[in-house]
Chains A and B, each alone.
Chain A
Amino acid sequence: NAGVTQTPKFQVLKTGQSMTLQCAQDMNHEYMSWYRQDPGMGLRLIHYSVGAGITDQGEVPNGYNVSRSTTEDFPLRLLSAAPSQTSVYFCASSYRSRGAEQFFGPGTRLTVL
């Protein structure tokens, strides 16, 4: 089991560029989510999905898009990168249950110049 995988590990973008952060899990988890981690702010939820074809916004969704065409994959798209999106991005997955443990990917460190 690879668990939750994320690519790339590092990325540098210029303002206005677009890109997709990849996330995949092989645990057949229904629930997947994207967080950004910023110093002093903890992890903030960007978007989440409770199953294939179902996505919803989290706390900080502006500037990001997601889709969930399969159970395994949950890519995060930055439409037009801004310096405020410089952050570490984490993908997580879990069974769809309130008390379930969330399993996290290794993170993607994104810098927008």
Chain B
Amino acid sequence: AQRVTQPEKLLSVFKGAPVELKCNYSYSGSPELFWYVQYSRQRLQLLLRHISRESIKGFTADLNKGETSFHLKKPFAQEEDSAMYYCALSDSWGKLQFGAGTQVVVTP
């Protein structure tokens, strides 16, 4: 069965410190993985997807098929990174399965 696990409900980091949000998945086929972000009072939006292999707002995420993980990382957290982050897995039809989400709080 398809599953996305985000083990941390809340991640509190200091400004300038590295931040890593964990995401593990289970999927029988070739996975398509995404990170979506929801800033306060804004709608949910795409942050990045693994097929793009890009860095957005300093964030990167590497798909590790051996460990079935897609962790999100940023070397130096900023206060504007405070938000709710969701890892999501797309099935072959394009339906998204979301993880429970990780709330990131960056304190100055």
Which positions in A face B, CB cutoff 8 Å? 31, 33, 35, 40-45, 48, 50, 58, 90, 92, 94, 96-102, 104-107
**CB within 8 Å for A102 and B49 given contacts A42-B99, A50-B93, A97-B94:** no
17 pairs from A and B in contact (CB 8 Å cutoff): A33-B95, A40-B9, A40-B100, A42-B4, A42-B86, A42-B99, A42-B100, A43-B98, A45-B97, A48-B95, A90-B44, A97-B94, A98-B92, A98-B94, A99-B49, A100-B94, A102-B96
**A31 neighbours in B (Cβ, 8 Å):** 94
A43 to chain B, nearest CB (A): 4
Q: Which 9 A-B pairs have the closest CB atoms?
A: A42-B98, A104-B44, A43-B98, A42-B100, A101-B46, A104-B43, A42-B101, A106-B43, A98-B94
Q: Is the CB of B51 within 8 A of A102?
A: no
Give Cα A45–Cα B97 distance, bound, in whole angstroms.
8
